[in-house]
Amino acid sequence: MPEFEAANDAELDVTFVPWEDVSTRLNTGFAGGTAPDVFGHGPAAAAGLAESDRLEPLDGFIELLEPSDLEDLAAFLVGGQVNGSQYMVPLGGEGRLIAYRKDLFADAGLDPDDPPSTWNDAYDAAVELTSGDTAGLILQTGEIQRVQSFMGLLGSEGGQLLSDDGAEVTWNSDAGVRALEYFVRLHQGDPAVSDLLGADFANQPAAQNPLATGSAAMVMVTSGQAVQIARARPELTDQIALIQPMSSAEAEMFGGPGPGLFMNKDSGNKELAWAFMEFMLSADVSESYAQVTGQIPVRASAKDGDYVADEPLIASFIEAGPNFVGSPNVPAWVEVRNVIDQHLERALHAEVSPREALDDAAAEAGPLLSGE
């Protein structure tokens, strides 16, 4: 901040807000006319805020970037677009991969250098790895996180959540049912290989992650979690490895652009607001931001930088980049996601069958997608 303020003869008033409070603070800010000029939020919020006419389109500013910068940022910029218009500039990338403990693999008689490459192989390995104190395979099942886990499984089965135009539900296809059946089997199968259903690893200290404590042999992690676990337990650095996206029909995992910066349409400082966003996208600052947060660098050229060299786990996430699938950019996405989340939870607790859960979610989400 001081560097930007000095370079632009400006004074920034920065407010740090816990992630779970971002929407609350922003919405009340919009209602009261006190929303900030620039704010950080996730790409899932982009379409809804754009439809509510709260976002300044950034296309005019983006055009002013150097062609070389545009090319460097291209992979993640597209995730900040809604109907072809740029509304968010991502500050980093995020993805989910399965991390595993080599020592626990060896203890179970499995080859630590030959991890499973398909979801079915992963289940079989998890059966071998599961013991009284150790779960074989844990996907993220906290609130909202279970939707992201499901999206990875769904993509692996060759399915997708919505039709290409975003108007119709397609998650209750046969591929969707197979994906959810697999997810449920981890927790309710015979044998069950997973534990801690509903636990929120995203907001947990890294040292308490089941991978760090050894209470799980394979755990779904974000890039940030993987880096933080390695930093919190340096003695495990050589024992933790990542598996590239596993496949059923295809190899996909949830991922894409992470939270980024938006410009308030009512801002009275749009030029300065863009100057700040451009500053955050600059090579040095964006790499330093990714390093602190443990995210995938937003610039492709950063793969040759010091951060990736110092954090070998990040290289695996960059390699998996083409296999990441993100959230649909539809206005009602946040509400639709909450609906899916509720019904996935019912299926994971074996309250209803996977088919019934997905059909119920589709029936409830249909009117939201059509704007009712």
Partner 1 sequence: MGALFVAPAAAYIGIFHLFPVVYGLYLSFTRYSPLDRGGPQLIGIDNYVDLLSDADFHKSVRVTVQFVAEVLPFAVAIALGLALLANRSMRGIGLFRAGLFLPRIVPLAAVSLIWLWLYSPDGWFNHLLGQVGLDPRNWLLDEGTALHAVAGMRVWKALGGNMVLFLAGLQAIPRTLYEAATVDGANSWQRFRYVTLPGLRPVTTYIVILNIVYLAQSFAEIFILTGGGPLRSTTTTNFLIYEEAFQNNRFGSASAMAFVLFALIFAFSFMILRRMGSNR
Q: Exactly one of 34, 120, 163, 208 binds partner 1 (CB under 8 A); which one?
A: 208
Residues 41-80 that bind partner 1 (CB under 8 A): 48-49, 52-54
How many Å apart are CA 357 and CA 183, to the nearest integer?
13
CB-nearer residue toward partner 1: 170 or 338: 338
Does residue 335 belong to the site contacting partner 1 (CB under 8 A)?
yes
How many Å apart are CA 91 and CA 86, to the nearest integer?
14
- Among 350, 348, 291, 321, smallest CA distance to 146 is for 348
Q: Exactly one of 213, 237, 282, 370 binds partner 1 (CB under 8 A); which one?
A: 213
- R_g (Cα) of the chain, nearest Å: 21
**Interacting span for partner 1 (CB under 8 A) from 219-227, 271-279, 309-317, 339-347:** 339-347
Cβ 4 to partner 1, closest distance in Å?
A: 29
CB-nearer residue toward partner 1: 50 or 58: 50
Residues 183-202 that bind partner 1 (CB under 8 A): 196-200
Cβ 346 to partner 1, closest distance in Å?
A: 7
CB-nearer residue toward partner 1: 133 or 310: 133
Token reading at 92: 């980093």
- Among 314, 274, 238, smallest CA distance to 37 is for 274
Residue 273, SS3 per DSSP: helix
CB-nearer residue toward partner 1: 52 or 131: 52
Non-local CB neighbours of 363 within 8 Å, separated by 6+ positions: none
- Among 104, 127, 314, smallest CA distance to 221 is for 314
- Among 99, 73, 58, smallest CA distance to 265 is for 58
Provide the CB-side half-sphere exposure for 136 (13 A, CA). 24
Q: How many residues bind partner 1 (CB under 8 A)?
A: 28
**What residues line the site for partner 1 (CB under 8 A)?**
23-24, 27-28, 30-31, 48-49, 52-54, 143, 196-200, 208, 213, 215, 334-335, 338, 342, 345-346, 349, 351
